[in-house]
Amino acid sequence: MTSIYLFAFVGGAWLLQQQSILPDLTGVTVLVPLAVAWILLSRRSGVFAKALCHVVVILAFAATGFFWAAAAGSWKLADDLAEIWEGRDVEVAGVVAEMVQPNERGIRFLFDVDRTYTLNARIPSRVSLMWYASDGEPAPDFHAGQRWRATVRLHRPHGNANPDGFDFEAWMLERGIRAVGYIRAQPAPHLINASVWRPGYLLERSREAVREHLLQALGDRPYAGVIVALAIGDQQAIAPEQWQVFTRTGVNHLMSISGLHITMVASMVLLLALGLWRRSEMLVLKLPAVRAATLCGLFVALAYAALSGFAVPAQRTV
């Protein structure tokens, strides 16, 4: 019966996704009469009472999934940029949340806002910022995990409403990005902390260091961006003309770390560990070789997925 209850929970969440607007969360009170009905029916011993009790539990799980998804959506939408603060200078402090992405116009990165210095300003907790390059003015040395204080101008994310096209707003909402903007050159951004010691920031700092090492080692070789994409999941390193070739030949999906890559690397480590572990009588007596090799493969799969940024396909594979 547990699987039925889980399916009911997922079904409730799926039903919420089909709604055009988010419902009022006060509707969660429907769980109260369901709980009362379950208590009364569970005390009865008849076959009909037991069957009805299971139906009530299924409805309760479905309602919980429905309103859990509604609450998650409401909380995300509540963390928005007030309309009166669009296009206005706001002084904030926060942490560079992911690897910075250089491009032809400057540097783009995600920014976790810790504090707002501008009086009465309400800024989302995560925003996407751009530093525009200008002649004769060096760009600040932004890196993942650094805490900066800067003056920014933000606007709410908007995308083109093309049928069957890429939904930019939904993509931003999925990543928890509730505003987009740029950093003002004056006053200049100020570095507060060179490194913020949090697991997520340390992981992004490590990914950035691996990317820089690969790019320095590979130099101007045309496949450098492909190696970076397959090593740490950073597809931005691939040149636009290469992406065009990959798209037209139908192999663009291979340029992201997915089940194929993680399974291949984990299997190689598993076979290597299995062969080496079997050579030691002491190790085999302490732990069977197959079990030890499996743990090694799982650890490598987890580490590779972490290095790739824990995208959904990578999580599913692990």
Measured distance CA(76)–CA(157) in Å, rounded? 14
Of residues 67 and 253, more confidence is placed in: 67
Of residues 247 and 129, more confidence is placed in: 129
pLDDT for position 136: 60
Of residues 302 and 220, more confidence is placed in: 302
pLDDT digits (tens, 9 = 90+) for 87-118: 999 999 999 999 898 888 889 999 999 999 99
Confidence class for position 135, pLDDT limits 50, 70, 90: low
Determine the average pLDDT of the residues in 121-136. 86
| Partner residues linked to 174 by β-bridges | none
Q: Evaluate whether 110 touches 127 at the Cβ level (below 8 Å).
A: yes
pLDDT at 299 over 90: yes
Give percent of the chain with pLDDT exceeding 70. Answer: 99
Confidence class for position 297, pLDDT limits 50, 70, 90: very high
Per DSSP, 137 falls in state: B
Q: Spell out the domain ranges in the chain.
A: 2-78, 83-193, 259-317
pLDDT at 238 over 90: no
Strands 126-132 and 180-183: parallel
Measured distance CA(240)–CA(263) in Å, rounded? 28
pLDDT at 165 over 80: no
pLDDT at 268 over 90: yes
pLDDT for position 37: 87
pLDDT digits (tens, 9 = 90+) for 4-25: 889 999 999 999 999 988 998 8
Question: What are the C-alpha distances in Å from 216 to residues 49, 145, 168, 224?
Answer: 70, 21, 33, 9
pLDDT at 293 over 90: yes
pLDDT at 134 over 90: no
pLDDT at 1 over 70: no
Helix, strand, or coil (residue 117): coil
Q: At what angle do helices 199-218 and 289-307 cross, to 10 degrees?
A: 80
Measured distance CA(216)–CA(210) in Å, rounded? 10
Determine the average pLDDT of the residues in 46-51. 82
pLDDT for position 167: 82
Determine the average pLDDT of the residues in 179-205. 90
Could you identify the residue written with the tokens 């340029």? 255
pLDDT for position 155: 92
Mean pLDDT for all residues in the chain? 88
Give the E-state strand segments of the chain in sequence order: 89-96, 101-103, 106-116, 126-132, 147-155, 180-183, 190-193
CATH for the stretch 83-193: 2.40.50
pLDDT for position 291: 95
